[in-house]
Structure 1
Amino acid sequence: MYRRKGPWSTGLRVLLATLRALLVALVCFLLLEPYTRRITQEEIKPRVVLALDNSQSVGLFTPKESLNGTLQGLDALAERLQDKGYEVVRETFQEGDTAVNLLATVPFQAPITNLHALVSKGESAYRNQNLAATVLVSDGIHNQGPTPTFQLYRAPIYPLALGDTVAKRDVVLEEVQYNKINYTGTSFPVVARIGHSGYGGASVTVLLQEGGKTVQRKTVSLPRAGTLETTFQVSAAQPGKKYYEVRVQPLSGEFTDLNNRRHAYLEVVKGKLKILLAAAAPHPDIKALRSALLTNPLLDVEVVLGPFQNPTFKTPYDAAVLHQIPNLSNVGTPWLRRLQTAKVPTFYLLGAQTDYNAFNALQAGVRLNRPSGQYDQVQPVLNNGFRRFSTEPIAQDRIKAWPPTAVTFGEWNVQAGTEVLLYQQIGSVRSTKPLLVYKPGPVVPAAVLLTDGSWQWRLNEATEHGSSQIYDELMTHLVQLLANRRNQKRLHVYPVKDEFDVTEEVSLQTDVFNTVQEEIFGQNISLTLTHPDGKQTQHRFRHEQGGEGLKLGNLAPGVYRYAASARLDNQNQSDTGELVVQEQNLESLLAVADHELLRQVAQRSETRLYYPAQLAQLEQDLLKADFKTVLRSHQEEKDLLEQSWYYFLLLGLACAEWALRRFYGSL
């Protein structure tokens, strides 16, 4: 084009030709799929975590002047380390990512001491941030979680000891022993174990109180050494939750009376819940389920294995667990029919021998369309939206680690109103297919587990963690949910846990049914909560599908009773119940610091134990360790096709050629 004569000079023709050639070349260059590589370097300074044990025991038993001076010294130490090029982070037991600006302003209110969790908090948060050292500031009193002396930490720990190791003259109510489940018409013991320091031979008065009133009183003599036990015999004529407080009256010259009281929270019931565990044939699931259910003293489990005799049902069952029944060989069919006739809530476990056509006819909350002989290997995933009962915070991670089990391949349909407890995860893909479901019902609720390999979950959890707590709680809570069958009432209000701690938020859930016993939503619920001291508070909330129910926040310890009401079809419906809030008082039990534990932690990290007067030595040792700054390289590769600047370059070349041709007289 530009060899022909035109209205341009020779130099301009060469420039225009160059622009056009460069534009075409750059466009063709994209056919080679080029990419760019960018390398950046980042300096990560060594990070020191000041982990402060802000539990109640530190504030109670460390002299206030000494504690304030130590905390101010640590804040000054943090400033000097920052001036030396270190990143300093302050951590406490508080939850979340809220930053602590000054240790001197931290309130000592944590009701428990979990030193492993405190150290692990910094290790987890700064795993990839050049964590150099953790300064653990504590009195060494540890009452929850793994003992830190037997744990491995990535960064060395420099313990700083607070508290006082000198024994004080004190009387301690060390423990109150009692059965959590008791029966009406029987007498049950409440045993108090009392220890002391410096009061050998003295007499103390021990009180058993209920509702603030003394129901029994005993006077005992303290031994010269060791502890003594005294027993109160208690009986209750009416079922319900009971709250007792055991108190040791303070003696003259006692260091503190905070550790002179403890609580007993128990339940009086009419009798155990009768549970049938029936299986078409012997299977490892039966042992796992039986062991899990027997962890709850409220459940009486009867195991029956096929081939079955004709059912007699001498004792009515509160719930049944059926393993692979209905069965392809019709094993257990008469028992199933009898359970249906008696309207016994049933937990079905499915497997290779399940008759799926017969199971679909049961309308148990889930059905399998077109069952096949193929199986998926699936892992369970907890549904955090299930609110019939609560699970421990560790449940999510533990359940994810359970091994995969076989589930019959097919199209699983969840019926309306059925709630999913566990979902299926196939490989790394989390699906919406159910694995464990619960179908609510006022008379005959049901639950279904789609695999016969749950025994592997219990075995794996026990092997990895030393106990099968999460599996056992999941199965017992589900069976209890079935066994505590509803009557024909249309309004049901219940707490999500049997017992709440004073540090936990109390929450209530609701079921509402229409005249044909189908669950409905959108109702306004009024609730009156009666506190242990007789005070009443009024609450209102709306019953929504998947809603959070009524959250009452943190409550003082004791037994609370509630009465709920709602207006349904121009009729008043009501329900009543009770819940327990318990206080453990773990932090006030020991007034003597445990510096030996901190010394063992230091030895394991090859450091040493420091005291408040040795903050200067601690600073020198941290600086002497000469923690290095880490240089981290980041390499980024990106296709040229994805970079906008290249397209602006092409556009610029085209526009430049067009502008020159236009300016000099011809397009």
Structure 2
Amino acid sequence: MQITTVLWVILAAIFSLLIVLFQNYYKTKRRGKLIVLLSFLRFFGVFGVLLMLINPKITKTTYTVEKTRLVILTDNSASIKNSKSTQKVTDFLKNLTNDSEVNDKFTIDSYTFGYNLNTIKDSVTFTEQNTNIGEALQATSEIYRNINTAIVLLTDGNQTLGEDYEFLSLNNKTPIYPVVVGDTTTYTDIKIDQVNKNNFAFLNNKYPVEVNASYTGKTPVTKLITIKENGKTVFTKNVTFSALENSKTITANIDAKTIGVKKLKVAIGELTNEKNTKNNTKTVALEVIDEKTNIAIVSAIEHPDLGTLKKAIESNEQRNVTILAPKSDKNLWQNTDVFIFYQPNSSFKNAIDYATNSNKNSFYITGLQTDWDFLNTVQNTYIFEDGFPAQEVFPKLNSSFSKFDVSEFLTTNFPPLQSNVSPVFPQDESLTILKTTIRGVTIESPLLAVSEFDKTKQAFLFGEDIWKWRMQTFRNEKDFKSFDEFIGKIILYLASSNSKNSFTLDYKQVYLGSREAVINASVFDDAFEFNANATVVLKIKNKEKSIYKEIPMLLNGFTYKADLSSLPAGDYTFTATVLHTKNTKSGMFTILNYNAEQQFTSSNYKKLQRVANSTNTNLFYVNNVNGLKQDLLSKQTLKPTQRSKENIVSLVEFKFLLGFILLVFIIEWFLRKYNGLT
């Protein structure tokens, strides 16, 4: 309690005593036990009122001792099993987690990681087909953001996906103790590191294949690189490696002679007594198609949005984008499948009339230089008013949109677009993809919407500076993939000839491993609203007809989903049927047999050593658990910390004190009246 509060309480007691003396003893000759009792009652009553006004408080401090968190991240990938180190890892974990001294100093939390970070439930299985060390470290850093933590990273250091863990920028200075698992011996090895190719090729054209190969050894070697397309050799080349020239890039241009999925098997000759030959081959796939979607972006101004749209759309090699002026030669419009009209004005009249008369689907993007009066005359979907000021508009994803899947497009931290559009309300059927948020308030007017008519479709985006969204996507996700796929889905929707399809499928022709194998379907009723009560069945069989499965597609938000991760590698055909309707779709896909964990022969201890150096720790090996324990126990910065917590508590309970005051005054009043006193 503060000294000033104590002084106020003392003054209140003195003042209460003076009140009593003045009322009961000043200029009066009454004495006796009754007066003394009344004096006590009056004193406590007045003092209680003053005490309520002062409301004294005390500070109560509690102390707790908090142990440092020791987070053990164990690599659960198949590469640990391949290195025959599973028993060593198991013994290491038991020895560390059961040590009494370690448990006295630390609170131990154990996780495994492969594709994702997971808690240890029973035992480590070493069956994960991918290793994402970067994601495991980032997730741990977020979980223990404000907690004193040390991380034990038990791994071979070989990462198959995700951001490079050596260059992570974690949120705190958490010490990381790498523990090396597996063989640290460097063996002579030759391998295919990477095969780069397009997802699509076009009939009667050549498609490029880029092969990156590397060699670990001292003596020069010459080996043959071959590329086989569906089992037929289409390219061969001898390549020489040495200790200095240990990496080569080979480019092949292959003829696309037939339509369909092409599996490319790239192989390099084996070395004498080579330990790991599984990394000498790599299989990829692409699809040869016989047509291409042509998109024309019509604009009268120069703007960064134009280049952004072109890059996003052409990220799918099946699409070609041409940027045209509104008054371009009509011959340039004839092969266009979808028109994008960027900030249209009166000079766009001929181009828009051509698209309308030819039943071409169109995408209107408006901005600060849009002629709203002109736009009212060339479309009937919306009615616009002119003269509204420019303002910032933010996107908000409409989770109920169901024409195609947009759930993976996250607008978190997206910058605003510039717009001067009036409040817009559709005059015809319109579906909102992105809602509009202004100054934190979501309004009814859409920011991005699509409309369907008998023969055509339209899309509207009411804002410019979409290039900032693509940049923000890169900041959020380290690539442009989700933004490009989002724009691609809009173009795919507009490019489809059937404007009202009640049953659609979304799947890939080629899956790199069974983990990625998923088929999505959308079902619409007669009013073209998403039908959440449909029953969709998927019938799948492989090329050899040895596998036949009938899988019900499960409702997942606004799509029906079939998870095919249990299927082995191979070629498959399928038929999807909506029961009790005539809606049926067929297709084919390929699951490639690829195991990234089989590409390594030894642990990457040098990289783990650099991680240890960057966090001022030491590198340990799986057979040196005692050395790690000694280092952890002796580390001064990892000692338990004492934390204090202050609680300010009121010294008196108001309800109790108020009741006491009322009781005292009532008793005093009763005694005075009973004894005839005033």
TM-score range, shorter chain: 0.7 to 0.9
Are positions 1:292 and 2:312 aligned together?
Answer: yes
Are positions 1:374 and 2:393 aligned together?
Answer: no
**Other-structure match for 2:364:** 348
Q: Does the 8 Å contact 1:278/1:320 carry over to 2?
A: yes
Identity in percent: 21
Counterparts of 1:477-626 in structure 2, within 5 Å, are 477-486=489-498, 489-495=501-507, 502-504=514-516, 506-512=518-524, 514=526, 518-519=528-529, 521-522=531-532, 524-533=534-543, 534=545, 535-541=547-553, 547-556=558-567, 557-566=569-578, 572-579=582-589, 581-582=591-592, 584-626=594-636
Instruction: Look up the equivalent residue of 1:237 and give its one-letter code.
Output: T
**5+ unaligned residues in a row in structure 2: which ranges?**
1-19, 25-32
**Other-structure match for 1:322:** 341
Instruction: Look up the equivalent residue of 1:181 and give its one-letter code.
Output: F
Over the aligned positions, Cα root-mean-square deviation in angstroms equals: 4.7
**Other-structure match for 1:118:** 136
Of stretches 592-601 and 37-46 in structure 1, the one that deviates more from structure 2 is 37-46
Mapped partners of 1:275, 1:456: distance in 2:
22
Q: Please list the CA deviations of residues 239-287 of structure 1 after superposition, one character each: whole Å capped at 9, or x if unmatched.
A: x444455678989965355435433221221122100101132222212
Mapped partners of 2:338, 2:562: distance in 1:
30
Instruction: Look up the equivalent residue of 1:303 and give its one-letter code.
Output: I
Mapped partners of 1:82, 1:139: distance in 2:
26
**Other-structure match for 1:52:** 74
Superposition deviation, residue 106 in structure 1? 1.1
**5+ unaligned residues in a row in structure 1: which ranges?**
none
Q: Please list the CA deviations of residues 581-604 of structure 1 after superposition, one character each: whole Å capped at 9, or x if unmatched.
A: 456522211212211111111222
Change (3 A) 1:498 1:263: closer
Change (3 A) 1:158 1:654: same
Instruction: Look up the equivalent residue of 2:165 and give its one-letter code.
Output: P
**Other-structure match for 1:162:** 181
Instruction: Look up the equivalent residue of 1:318 and give its one-letter code.
Output: D
Q: Does the 8 Å contact 1:322/1:348 carry over to 2?
A: yes
Secondary structure at 1:549 match in 2: strand
Change (3 A) 1:608 1:566: closer
Q: Please list the CA deviations of residues 469-499 of structure 1 after superposition, one character each: whole Å capped at 9, or x if unmatched.
A: 4433332332233223336654333338985
Q: Please list the CA deviations of residues 414-469 of structure 1 after superposition, one character each: whole Å capped at 9, or x if unmatched.
A: 68864444344445666676332344668423322221111233355567877544
Superposition deviation, residue 201 in structure 1? 7.4
Counterparts of 1:167-246 in structure 2, within 5 Å, are 167-168=186-187, 172-186=191-205, 188=207, 208=228, 210=230, 214-216=231-233, 225=242, 235=256, 237-238=258-259, 240-243=260-263
Of stretches 197-206 and 375-384 in structure 1, the one that deviates more from structure 2 is 197-206
Mapped partners of 2:517, 2:109: distance in 1:
29
Superposition deviation, residue 295 in structure 1? 2.6
**Other-structure match for 2:16:** none
Structure of greater Rg: 2
Counterparts of 1:373-392 in structure 2, within 5 Å, are 373-383=388-398
Q: Does the 8 Å contact 2:111/2:117 carry over to 1?
A: no
Mapped partners of 2:205, 2:588: distance in 1:
22
Q: Does the 8 Å contact 1:318/1:484 carry over to 2?
A: no
Mapped partners of 1:537, 1:607: distance in 2:
52
Q: Does the 8 Å contact 1:200/1:222 carry over to 2?
A: no
Q: Does the 8 Å contact 2:373/2:385 carry over to 1?
A: no
Superposition deviation, residue 297 in structure 1? 1.5
Change (3 A) 1:378 1:273: same
Change (3 A) 1:234 1:391: farther
Mapped partners of 2:318, 2:607: distance in 1:
39
Q: Please list the CA deviations of residues 77-132 of structure 1 after superposition, one character each: whole Å capped at 9, or x if unmatched.
A: 5x53112x212222222688853267xx212233222322222221111011222x
Mapped partners of 1:234, 1:344: distance in 2:
33
**Other-structure match for 2:330:** 311
Change (3 A) 1:334 1:521: same
Are positions 1:263 and 2:283 aligned together?
Answer: yes
Superposition deviation, residue 137 in structure 1? 1.6
Compute the TM-score of the two structures, normalised by the length of structure 1.
Answer: 0.78
Q: Does the 8 Å contact 2:88/2:623 carry over to 1?
A: no
Q: Does the 8 Å contact 2:295/2:319 carry over to 1?
A: yes
Q: Does the 8 Å contact 1:506/1:555 carry over to 2?
A: no
Mapped partners of 2:413, 2:565: distance in 1:
32
Mapped partners of 2:633, 2:154: distance in 1:
18
Q: Does the 8 Å contact 2:404/2:522 carry over to 1?
A: no
Are positions 1:82 and 2:103 aligned together?
Answer: yes
Instruction: Look up the equivalent residue of 2:393 and give its one-letter code.
Output: V
Q: Does the 8 Å contact 1:510/1:549 carry over to 2?
A: yes
Change (3 A) 1:67 1:518: closer
Change (3 A) 1:383 1:253: farther
Q: Does the 8 Å contact 1:205/1:217 carry over to 2?
A: no
Mapped partners of 2:301, 2:210: distance in 1:
45
1:92 aligns with one of 85, 89, 112: 112
**Other-structure match for 2:9:** none
Secondary structure at 1:401 match in 2: coil
Compute the TM-score of the two structures, normalised by the length of structure 2.
Answer: 0.77
Superposition deviation, residue 407 in structure 1? 2.5
Superposition deviation, residue 605 in structure 1? 1.8
Secondary structure at 2:414 match in 1: coil
Q: How many residues align?
A: 635
Mapped partners of 1:506, 1:321: distance in 2:
31
Q: Does the 8 Å contact 1:241/1:578 carry over to 2?
A: no
